[in-house]
Amino acid sequence: MIDPKKFVERLAASGVDFFTGVPDSLLKNFCAYVTDHCGANHVIAANEGGAVGLASGHYLATGKPALVYMQNSGQGNAVNPLASLADPDVYSIPMVLLVGWRGEPGIKDEPQHVKQGKVTISLFETLGIPTDVLPDDEYAGLELVRKAVERAKAESRPVALVVRKGLFAEYKLQDRKPDIASLPREQAIEDVLESIPEGAVVVSTTGMISREVYETRVRLGQDHSRDFLTVGSMGHAIMIALGIAKAQPCRRVFCLDGDGASIMQMGNMAIAGQSGCGNLTHIVFNNAAHDSVGGQPTVGGAIDLTAIAAACGYNRDGSPTFREVRVAKGARKDLGRPKEPPQVNKALYMATLGVVAGR
């Protein structure tokens, strides 16, 4: 294992002292240490592409590379600025990418991580980004960090370090922000599901919210045919819901979203708000935290999501409805996961919508 403190110290000794990214469960101990100790030199970005932009700006202003951390599912968000901004064929900007390898081949993981895990290394290879998997041995791992920084600087390019599960030694986040509300999210979700009219359908976002929707249906003795559980695609649940609402304008569609997800792809709110789909309701459960990957803070507690939604066109006559529900951080420790594979969820959901999957 690698001590997060020693990892950060080795980076600093190599000239890397600015950190940005999107929290990941495999990196949560590292992310927690950086959150506690790096102050203004650490920014939790809305999405991974934004983090690459931040790192690029930092280099332009200081001449020093930054570290960008992400889950491998965030590679998609990062590809555009990595290829069209930081690449040696464009502006040639050095940075170190620290990437949690969810879905590593041979390691059991959730279904949304399987494909991404298979292509993590090859995707970086296709982009021409030198990539190494960090070894579990602390000395060897820290030496590889030093070499990665030196290569990034010498060749003026991004380099990637891939992190396997369990690499970082445990470190608990000390600087925990107080809850912005006392209502448990699972209770709030149950209240919403019980109030949804007959015939309406749900699209729930990735992470704890979809898991709690699934568990709530079990507890209420209901089936899962009305719920599309978006197990990946963070930030895009509202676009899935909008696609359904536009195609079936006589059906009520409810999107159950999270603050981290809605902030990650906030432009989607502008499109939904201007869609004219009065049958769409967008509910954001806001606890100002990336709850499923270590509780790292979001800016959800400091911004007015309702005002942002109103500016986008929500809550007007004939427009989608927006509601923010402020909830407490955390989930119960025995929270389960969907037992059926995504393809089964899809087929049941499409049957509810009156569509035969595959046709």
330-335 average pLDDT score: 89
Q: What is the domain-level CATH number for residue 228?
A: 3.40.50.970
Answer positive or negative: Cα dihedral of 328, 329, 333, 336: positive
pLDDT band at 357 (very low <50, low <70, confident <90, very high): low
78 and 148 assigned to the same domain = yes
For residue 19, being part of any structural domain is answered with yes
Q: In whole angstroms, what is the distance from residue 96 CA to residue 154 CA?
A: 13
Q: Return d(Cα 38, Cα 145) in angstroms, integer.
A: 18
Residue 301: the pLDDT is 93
Does some domain include residue 176?
A: no
The residue-averaged pLDDT of 180-195 equals 96
Per the structure, the complete domain to which residue 190 belongs is given by: 185-352
- What secondary structure letter does DSSP report for 168? B
- Residues 144-174 have pLDDT tens digits of 999 999 999 999 999 999 999 999 999 999 8
Phi, psi of 165 (to 5 degrees): -60, 135
Domain count, the chain: 2
- State residue 293's pLDDT score: 83
- Does 170 reside within a domain? no
Please indicate, yes or no, whether residues 153 and 291 belong to a single structural domain of this protein.
no
**Contact of 286 with 327, CB cutoff 8 Å:** yes
Give yes or no: residues 234 and 141 share one domain: no
| pLDDT 10s digits, 122-132 | 999 999 999 99
Select from 327, 274, 322 the least CA-distant residue to 300.
Answer: 327
Integer angstrom CA distances of residue 255 from 4, 86, 94, 189, 240:
37, 35, 39, 11, 9
Distance CA 41, CA 21 (A): 12
Does some domain include residue 179?
no
Residues 79 and 197 in one domain: no
Per-residue pLDDT band for 232 (boundaries 50, 70, 90) equals confident
CA distances in angstroms from 356 to 346, 348, 350, 351, 352, listed in the order given: 10, 9, 6, 6, 9
Indicate if 256 and 315 belong to the same structural domain: yes
| Among 102, 128, 163, residue at a domain's last position | 163
Computed over every residue of the chain, the mean pLDDT equals: 95
CA-wise closest residue to 186 among 328, 340, 339, 338: 328
Same domain, 209 and 276: yes
Specify whether 348 is located in the same domain as 201. yes
What are the tens digits of pLDDT across the range 278-330? 999 999 999 999 988 878 899 999 999 999 999 999 999 999 999 999 999 98
What pLDDT, on a 0 to 100 scale, did the predictor assign at position 32?
A: 95
| Rounded CA separation 80/82 (Å) | 5
Q: What is the DSSP string of 142-205?
A: HHHHHHHHHHHHHHTSEEEEEE-TT-BPP-----PPPPS--S-HHHHHHHHHHHSPTT-EEEE-
| pTM score | 0.94
pLDDT value at residue 138: 97
- Evaluate whether residue 173 is within a structural domain: no
Q: Which of 163, 195, 214 is the last residue of a domain?
A: 163
User: Which residues of 141-279 form beta strands (DSSP E)?
Assistant: 158-163, 201-204, 227-229, 253-258
Kind plus residue range of the DSSP H or E element containing 44: strand 42-44
Pairing label, strands 289-290, 296-297: antiparallel
Whether 311 maps to a domain, the answer reads: yes
Q: Indicate the SS3 state at residue 22.
A: coil
User: 346 and 309, same structural domain?
Assistant: yes
Q: How confident is the model at residue 66 (pLDDT cuts 50, 70, 90)?
A: very high
Q: Are residues 49 and 83 in the same domain?
A: yes
The reported pLDDT for the residue numbered 359 is 55
- pLDDT score for 53: 98
- Same domain, yes or no: 152 and 220: no
Does a structural domain hold residue 208? Answer: yes
Are 247 and 280 in contact by the 8 Å Cβ rule? The answer is: no
Question: What's the pLDDT band for 112 if we cut at 50, 70, 90?
Answer: confident
Q: What whole-number distance in Å separates Cα of residue 290 and Cα of residue 232?
A: 14
Secondary structure letter of residue 298 according to DSSP: -
Looking at the structure, do residues 197 and 235 belong to the same domain, yes or no? yes
Residue 133 lies in a domain: yes
Instruction: Measure the CA dihedral 145/148/150/151, to 10°.
Output: 170
Indicate whether 238 and 136 sit together in one domain.
no
